[in-house]
């Protein structure tokens, strides 16, 4: 009925304007009709003013009701949230009293895996925010171990390649180039596609140590702290009970003037008694319990694969090995400088590894046995006293 009235004009303003107009109209005419019309207009304006005041009062009442409902909703939500948080803390405290830390993390990991299977992107994000390592995504799988075994075929192919290199051709198949030849090993390299780095391959043989000791020396982190002077920190920070995979944090000195580097990587090893093979695979990962620090330069790209094949058995001297290795040490040096550092550092490392295995074989030190295969007994094979393998560590 009053929709034509401008919303920004109050009833009092309209009344004043109409009264002014009425006065102007009243001046020239004194008739009763004009007086009657003025009274009627005044009544209408008075009614409009009262209606507007009533509407404002009704709006204030509705606004107060809305604010009251919102306050009740907020209080209810805070109460429910508080109850759930208290319940979650109570459950966490209960499990902390019932289970060990490793078991608790295993339980949390299984819950995250279930969430991830239903909501993969959300599960990964939540796991990262909660600081949970996703073993299902980062562990070394069986097919990856199987692909590593296929490289063992290169052991047989490497022997004729030695004759090719001796005739002066240093370029081999698949882009591998011979960069070093020593009595007990040979080193190849090839460029990594889309990078300024190289991937290296080492094929070597030893006849004075056993495969078991060579394998154990590489896996025993406590023993490596003794024979490798470059190690700053080397520890196992996490384990996967289903596959036996381990998360290793390794900090090592680099040649001056470079800063020390640290690696966080997952490793998995396997022993195949039927085919007489030992396999060790490692690659870099990120783990929430080992964040980056200013103390070291973190190496994010790292891969290492080794296959060992005994000449006779795991406990007799003599074996061949194939090592494939690549990493990005995060340096600004040109490619040829990095190649020189790797080529010069490789013989030194292998010599230290060989010496450490000799000490372990001669029982000068006791190391843990990771092979998991019973040693040869005198009924199965007669060993010389100097060939007796190191007994399993009691630790």
Same domain, 227 and 111: no
The CA distance from 187 to 172, in Å, is 12
pLDDT for residue 263? 97
Same domain, 111 and 152: no
Does 329 fall in a domain? yes
Same domain, 237 and 343: yes
Per-residue tens of pLDDT for the chain, all 395 residues: 444 444 444 445 545 554 554 454 444 444 555 555 556 656 666 665 666 666 666 666 666 666 677 777 777 777 777 777 777 777 777 766 655 555 555 566 556 556 555 554 554 544 444 456 677 788 888 888 888 778 777 657 656 655 555 555 555 566 788 888 888 888 888 888 888 888 998 988 999 999 999 999 999 999 999 999 999 999 999 988 888 889 999 999 988 778 899 999 999 999 999 989 999 999 999 998 999 999 999 999 999 999 999 999 999 999 999 999 999 888 776 766 766 777 677 788 888 999 999 988 877 777 888 887 665 543 344 333 333 344 333 33
The CA distance from 158 to 66, in Å, is 82
Residue 365 tokens read as: 């030190």
* Domain total of the chain: 2
pLDDT for residue 163? 56
Does 85 fall in a domain? yes
Q: What is the CATH number for 204?
A: 3.30.530.20
pLDDT for residue 377? 45
Same domain, 190 and 334: yes
The CA distance from 344 to 176, in Å, is 18
* Residue of 161, 205, 165 lying closest to 183 (CA atoms): 205
Is the CB of residue 280 less than 8 Å from the CB of residue 267? Answer: yes
Q: Residue 350's CB: how many other CB atoms inside 10 A?
A: 19
Same domain, 100 and 204: no
Does 46 fall in a domain? no
Same domain, 90 and 207: no
Is the CB of residue 156 less than 8 Å from the CB of residue 145? Answer: no
pLDDT for residue 221? 93
Is the CB of residue 284 less than 8 Å from the CB of residue 300? Answer: yes
Radius of gyration of the chain (CA): 40
Same domain, 152 and 282: yes
Does 126 fall in a domain? no
Does 198 fall in a domain? yes
pLDDT for residue 248? 96
Same domain, 91 and 184: no
Same domain, 189 and 253: yes
pLDDT for residue 293? 92
Task: Determine the structural domain holding residue 97 and report its residue range.
Answer: 70-117
Q: Residue 48's CB: how many other CB atoms inside 10 A?
A: 17
pLDDT for residue 19? 53
Domain end marker among 51, 84, 117: 117
Does 16 fall in a domain? no
Same domain, 96 and 195: no
Does 308 fall in a domain? yes
pLDDT for residue 52? 62
Same domain, 254 and 317: yes
pTM of the model: 0.62
Instruction: Please count the helices (runs of H) and the strands (runs of E) in the chain.
Output: 10, 10
Does 4 fall in a domain? no
Same domain, 101 and 247: no
Q: How far is CA 209 from CA 176, 178, 302, 346, in A?
A: 29, 26, 28, 19
pLDDT for residue 388? 38
């Amino acid at each position: 009925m009053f929709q034509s009235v401008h919303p920004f004009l109050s009833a009092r303003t309209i009344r004043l304007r109409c009264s002014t107009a009425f006065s102007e109209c009243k001046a020239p005419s004194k008739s009763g009709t004009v007086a009657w019309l003025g009274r009627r207009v005044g009544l209408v304006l008075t009614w409009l003013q009262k209606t507007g005041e009533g509407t404002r009062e009704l709006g204030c009442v509705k606004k107060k009701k809305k604010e009251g409902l919102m306050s009740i909703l907020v209080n209810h939500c805070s109460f429910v949230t508080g109850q759930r948080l208290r319940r979650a803390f109570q459950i966490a405290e209960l499990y902390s009293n019932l289970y060990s830390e490793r078991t608790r993390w295993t339980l949390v990991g299984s819950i995250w895996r279930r969430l991830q299977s239903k909501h993969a992107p959300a599960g990964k994000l939540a796991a990262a925010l909660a600081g949970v390592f996703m073993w299902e995504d980062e562990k070394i799988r069986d097919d990856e171990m199987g692909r590593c075994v296929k490289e063992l075929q290169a052991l047989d192919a490497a022997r004729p390649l030695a004759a090719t290199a001796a005739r002066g051709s240093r370029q081999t198949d698949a882009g591998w180039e011979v960069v070093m030849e020593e009595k007990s090993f040979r080193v190849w390299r090839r460029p990594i596609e889309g990078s300024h780095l190289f991937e290296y391959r080492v094929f070597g043989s030893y006849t004075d140590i056993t495969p078991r000791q060579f394998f154990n020396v590489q896996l025993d982190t406590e023993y490596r702290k003794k024979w490798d002077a470059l190690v700053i920190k080397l520890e196992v920070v996490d384990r996967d009970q289903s596959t036996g995979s381990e998360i290793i944090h390794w900090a090592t000195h680099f040649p001056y003037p470079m800063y020390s580097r640290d690696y966080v990587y997952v490793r998995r090893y396997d022993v195949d008694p039927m085919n007489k093979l030992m396999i060790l695979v490692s690659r870099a990962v990120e783990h929430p319990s080992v964040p980056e620090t200013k103390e070291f330069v973190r190496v994010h790209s790292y891969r290492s694969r080794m296959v060992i094949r005994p000449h006779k058995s795991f406990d007799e001297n003599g074996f061949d090995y194939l090592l494939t290795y690549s990493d990005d040490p995060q340096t600004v040096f040109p490619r040829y400088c990095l190649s020189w550092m790797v080529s010069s550092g490789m013989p030194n490392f292998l010599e230290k590894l060989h010496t450490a295995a000799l000490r372990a074989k001669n029982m000068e030190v006791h190391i843990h046995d990771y092979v998991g295969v019973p040693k040869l007994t005198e009924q199965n094979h007669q060993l010389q006293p100097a060939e007796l393998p190191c007994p399993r560590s009691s630790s």
